[in-house]
Amino acid sequence: MSTSFDSSTLYTDLFIDGAWQKASSGATFPVENPATNEVIAHVADGGPEDAALAIEAAGRAQAAWGRSTPRERADILRRAFELVIANTDRLAAIMTAEMGKPLAEAKGEVAYGAEMLRWFSEEAVRIGGDNTTSVDGNTRIMITKEPVGPSVLVTPWNFPLAMGARKIAPAVAAGCTMVFKPAELTPLTSLALVDIFRQAGLPDGVLNVVTTASAAPVVEHWTASGIARKISFTGSTGVGKILLRQAAENVMRSSMELGGNAPFIVLADADIEKAVDGAMKAKMRNMGEACTAANRFFVHRSVVTEFSEKFAKKMSELQVGNGALTGTDVGPLIEQKGLDKVESLVADALAKGARVLTGGKRPEGPGYFYTPTVLTDVTLDADLMNTEIFGPVAAITTFDSEDDVLRIANDTEWGLVGYVFTESTAKALRFSAELEVGMVGINTGLVSNPIAPFGGIKQSGLGREGGKIGIEEFLEYKYTAIAI
């Protein structure tokens, strides 16, 4: 095994007002490699005192940063993009060590996150407005856009670079200062990204970072501070609801990218080879630990045997192991809790009549590994069908009627993404229109794209990230009436 970073050069401190510093308490928490169970670093464990320093720094920096020119902000983002690309190997190695994903996939995430920086560097200089005359001709109406102000950013562990980039980039482009709380399980990649922004010339106080093993007191201090004007969160629906309640106390702008329960629908006329390829991408990206992961596989009765057998064969051929080793296709799950959850979900499905086509077990040895699994004959009352799996398990059930599968697919509190495979344009358009989700993949298992608005409906969230809309989440509209 080889890595492209020296563990002694990892960033493990808080970053406040342009300086790296220890937590006020001096406390740290361990970061574990989920493939080996070895501790790879101890990171500063910030608390409310550190949170106060961070949000106060963001508040002080807002006025000057808000007056910065679009070109200045664009140039910083462009330099950050170039630095991320130049450090691809190192960033990917850190990510694999703390999160577990194979190096090739980690490099793909670095490229995706970098593209967010480049995209918003280009959007920064395109913040527009409007200018018109009132209908009575007596008033000139001028509409301008201004930064929302200090923003709270909270990211998950599963995409530690991409999620940070997807939030920081539009905030920088819009002229907002930030307080940033990376995930406890994967803070090292996020801290490396923060230092790239420091190298790129981001002014002191614009981006402030508090790592912590106790997120609630830190984030609650920020939302209650009266300084923060926006919160952007990616994570579970349960935590999102808590943050929305906190944000309501100070009427903060909120963006929430929450849980998913994505249906993957294979219609009778689907190209099965395409469907299997799409299923591999939609299910196995990030070991299934993605909010966009296909969660419920609905396959028409006429093609379910062919699809299931070909899908199971592909899944059985995946190599499970340490993501830093050559040839690994599937790394470990992030922690013991996640592994226990997957095992419990599979056991429940089997008890209710499901059959294992491949996998369905935990390999021996260290690490939080679970073999890629395909279950068929899964009943609709199985917990797998009603819970975000977050693991390498595909649950297949059969349908006969398109009306029925639409009804079942929509029978969930979540609405992030859906996947549909069909060779009929008419059916593709119908399912795209009638699926209750924010994103639809037609004959593709990948929907994430920097230039597209990412987000869901129902309890999958509020607002959108990426695309032309992404920067709007960090902008306020101001209307000025000028008598003429």
Residues assigned a catalytic role? 257, 291
Greatest extent of the chain over all pairs of C-alpha atoms, in Å: 79
Here the tokens at position 38 are 């070895």
Strands lying side by side in the sheet with 461-462: 19-21, 14-16, 207-209, 178-181, 151-154, 230-234, 253-257, 461-462
Q: Count other C-beta atoms under 10 Å from residue 12's C-beta.
A: 17
Q: Count other C-beta atoms under 10 Å from residue 381's C-beta.
A: 12
Query: Which residue, 305, 329, 273, is CA-closest to 445?
Result: 273
Cα–Cα distance between 425 and 442 in angstroms, integer?
10
Cα–Cα distance between 1 and 33 in angstroms, integer?
14
Three-state DSSP state, 410? helix
Cα–Cα distance between 146 and 120 in angstroms, integer?
16
Query: Which residue, 30, 40, 38, 31, is CA-closest to 5?
Result: 40
Strands 393-399, 373-376: pairing kind: parallel
266-304 core/surface letters (b: 16 or more CB in 10 A; e: else): bbbebebebbbbbbbbbbbbbbbbbbbbbbbbbbbeebb
Containing 238, the helix (H) or strand (E) segment is helix 237-249
C-alpha triplet 284, 159, 435: angle, nearest 5°:
60
Q: For residue 92, with 0-12 CB atoms within 10 Å meaning exposed, 13-18 middle and 19 or more buried, which class applies?
A: buried
Here the tokens at position 117 are 């920086």
Query: Which residue, 174, 149, 172, 153, is CA-closest to 164?
Result: 153
Cα–Cα distance between 457 and 239 in angstroms, integer?
16
Evaluate whether 348 touches 382 at the Cβ level (below 8 Å).
Answer: yes
107-144 core/surface letters (b: 16 or more CB in 10 A; e: else): bbbbebbbbbbbbbbebbeebeeeeeeeeeeeeeeeee
Cα–Cα distance between 166 and 226 in angstroms, integer?
25
Cα–Cα distance between 300 and 305 in angstroms, integer?
9
